[in-house]
Homo-oligomer: A and B are copies of this chain.
Amino acid sequence: MNKGIYSQIMKELKKAHDEDYHFSDGRILGSMCTKPHNIALKTHSMFVESNLGNPGLYPGTKKLEKKVIKMLGSLLHNRNPYGHITGGGTESNITALWIAKKITKKKEIIFPESAHFSFHKACDLMDLKPVEIGLDEKYRIRVDEAEDKISDNTACVAGVAGTTEFGAVDPIDKLSDICAEKNFLHVDAAFGGFVIPFLKELGHNLPDFDFKLDGVCSITVDPHKMGMASIPAGALLLREKKYLKSISRKPVYLTGVQACLSGTRCSASVPGVYAAMKILGKDGYRKIVKSCMDVTAYLSKRFKEIGLTLPVEPEMNIVCAKVKNPDRIIRMLDKKGWKISKTKKPKCIRVVVMPHVTRKVVDNFIPDLEKVCRKNGEI
């Protein structure tokens, strides 16, 4: 190999890497991912060849995936779950709706206005009819409206345990009551799955949202969000084996059965999910969640101190503040090196208080935010 070219390319790639933002910079305030646990990073490289699309070649990784699904089940009150690691919440949600379509042979999907855009993507992909349900004053699905919309055409009712925009937790317990034994109930806990169980342990008053509820058929939960795993590590958990069977096929040329949307699967992150969950344990995650919630409270206070209004008191580690022109605020903060996000209804700026968003990061951020808001007449 020509060493000159090699080092020239590496130089170019290092430059590209420098242009990217990184969690450890403390500048990414609008992402639901974070710097993975050290052991996740280490094992990601080690297992870089792993591809559970061809499981016969990777029996070691496959065993770890099985253990991970079991551990996720244990976290979400199911001792005998089915499912697999996916590329992320979108793949898990699409797969859940695919299963619901197959099982019910029906076409309507009921979900809240606050649902992740992957629900609309899934409907577009599969020609399903989205039936959007309005929200209450805390941005949670209106259960009575959902109940009204359930019909003979309903393939699936979906609730969100930790919405993307405001971190709202839908009353999944009530959805379970209206669905029980009649309708397929899917729960998108991509973000909340690694937060809500620990918030409940910490005494927060949140509804049950997982397999503890009889009506819940499937759950999306992303270890690569608050689970401290590396991307790509989503998961889809299922109550019944027949759900997986409805989408499974046995390719002749591969080893084993496939029951997922992806063919080839990057499985380098699977050992890291296992390791992070084993090492952190419930105590470790509870501490992480506690610490994020402390910063969430602190950030909320600082927002209010500079004259901003919250649309709702945060139930999870996401803080929004109402502004008239979020795009302009985002653009001006971007120039100062801050990467924040926004919401649509109501118009807000949005910060996801991931573990890399520390009190110190907040202290660095607020003066810049205050200047920008003042300049724009937002405060």
Instruction: Give A contacts to B, CB under 8 Å.
Output: 1-2, 5-6, 9-10, 13, 15-23, 28, 30-31, 33, 35-36, 39, 41-51, 53-54, 56-61, 63-64, 87-91, 94, 98, 102, 116-118, 120-121, 124-127, 164-165, 222, 224, 230-232, 234, 247, 249, 251-255, 261-266, 268-269, 271, 274-275, 278-279, 339, 341-344, 350
Minimum CB–CB distance for A211 against chain B, Å: 24
Contact B279 A60 (CB under 8 A): no
Bound-state CA distance A154–B168 (Å) is 44
Contacts of A49 in B (CB 8 A): 20, 22-23, 33, 35-36, 231
Contact A13 B253 (CB under 8 A): no
Minimum CB–CB distance for A348 against chain B, Å: 10
Instruction: State which of B33, B87, B275 has its C-beta within 8 Å of the C-beta of A87.
Output: B87
Bound-state CA distance A224–B50 (Å) is 12
Contact A44 B46 (CB under 8 A): no
Instruction: State which of B6, B63, B278 has its C-beta within 8 Å of the C-beta of A19.
Output: B63
Minimum CB–CB distance for A65 against chain B, Å: 10
Interface of chain A, helix or strand or loop or mixed?
A: mixed
Contact B253 A343 (CB under 8 A): yes
Known: A90-B263, A263-B118. A15 touches B60 (CB 8 A): yes
Known: A88-B262, A90-B263, A253-B343. A44 touches B43 (CB 8 A): no
Minimum CB–CB distance for A286 against chain B, Å: 15
Contact A47 B249 (CB under 8 A): no
Contact A125 B127 (CB under 8 A): no
> For residue A21, which residue of chain B has the nearest CB?
B57
Contact B39 A10 (CB under 8 A): yes
Bound-state CA distance A19–B45 (Å) is 17
Contact A264 B90 (CB under 8 A): yes
Bound-state CA distance A13–B268 (Å) is 12
Contacts of A91 in B (CB 8 A): 261-263
Instruction: State which of B41, B57, B125, B274 has its C-beta within 8 Å of the C-beta of A28.
Output: B57
Contact B249 A117 (CB under 8 A): yes
Contact B53 A279 (CB under 8 A): no
